[in-house]
């Protein structure tokens, strides 16, 4: 078994275990911390497949930005505001079972699929650096979605202000 595959298996199972713990934990803060585990494992997978830039962005944006926001919300709302405990446990159990079933299904499908249609990295990947290629994709091939995304973010910001400001 080569090193890449081994690393992938380790990181993927770490992500899975953390993911299951996110929904099984009673304490919302613990859930949030396990979520960091998920994000970092996924970032590790990115490094393994050679997408270092994505890995760094993953850690910065998700583990750094989004998670801190989650923790703030948990702090402000307080964990008492969560759903009743019994119901919570039921939901978590159902969720776990579904996740395991889905995982099994995916694993089986992947075995069936084998190497069929997946595409390997293109020839450019060895010539250009990681960040250069992300930049080229973003500002040449996908420039239009990139620009539309700026409208999307503006709408989100305007919306947040509209909903949060005092009513006239």
Partner 1 sequence: MMDILGSLFSWLPVELWIMRPELCLTLAAFLTLIFSVARRAFQPRWLGYFSIAVTAAVGAPLLDLFRRTTELPGQEFVAWNGMFVVDSFAVFFKVLFLLAAILTMLMSIRYLDVEKAHTGEYYALIMFAVVGMMFMVSARDLILLFVGLETMSISTYILAGYLKRDRRSNESALKYFLLGSFSTGIFLYGISLVYAVTGSTHLRVISDAIAEGLVNHPLLVLGLILMIVALGFKIAAVPFHMWVPDTYEGAPTTITAFFSTAVKAAGFAIVLRILVEGMLSARMHWAPLVVILSAASMIIGTLGALLQENVKRLLAYSSITHVGYLLMGVLAVQRGADTGARGMVAIAVYLLAYTFMNMGAFGLVVALRREGLVGDQVDDFTGLARRAPLAAFSMLVFMLSLGGIPATAGFIGKWYLFGAAIKADYVWLAVLAVLASATSLYYYLRVVVRMYMGEAEEEGGLRPSGALASALVISLVFTILMGLYPQPFIWLAQHVVLY
Question: Interaction with partner 1 in 94-113: which residues (CB under 8 A)?
Answer: 105-106, 109-110, 112-113
Residue 141 structure tokens: 């091939």
**Total binding residues toward partner 1, as defined by CB under 8 A:** 28
Question: Under the criterion CB under 8 A, does residue 149 sit at the interface with partner 1?
Answer: yes
Stretch that binds partner 1, among 32-40, 42-50, 93-101, 114-122 (CB under 8 A): 114-122
Name the residue nearer to partner 1 (CB basis): 29 or 106: 106
Name the residue nearer to partner 1 (CB basis): 84 or 116: 116
Question: Under the criterion CB under 8 A, does residue 141 sit at the interface with partner 1?
Answer: yes
Residue 160 structure tokens: 């947040």
Query: Which positions lie near partner 1, rule CB under 8 A?
Result: 105-106, 109-110, 112-113, 116-119, 141-145, 148-149, 151-152, 154-156, 158-159, 162-163, 167-168
């Amino acid at each position: 078994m080569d090193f890449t595959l081994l690393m992938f298996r380790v990181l993927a199972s770490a992500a899975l275990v953390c993911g299951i713990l996110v929904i099984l934990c009673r304490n919302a803060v613990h859930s949030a911390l396990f979520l960091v585990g998920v994000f970092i494992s996924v970032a590790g997978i990115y490094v393994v497949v050679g997408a270092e830039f994505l890995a760094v962005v993953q850690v910065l944006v998700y583990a750094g930005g989004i998670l801190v926001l989650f923790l703030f919300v948990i702090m402000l709302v307080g964990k008492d505001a969560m759903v009743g405990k019994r119901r919570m446990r039921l939901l978590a159990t159902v969720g776990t079972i579904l996740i395991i079933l889905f995982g099994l299904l995916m694993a089986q499908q992947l075995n069936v699929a084998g190497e069929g249609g997946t595409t390997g990295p293109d020839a450019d990947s060895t010539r250009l650096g990681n960040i250069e290629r992300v930049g080229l994709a973003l500002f040449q091939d996908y420039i239009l979605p990139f620009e539309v995304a700026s409208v999307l973010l503006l709408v989100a910001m305007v919306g947040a202000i509209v909903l949060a400001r005092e009513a006239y």
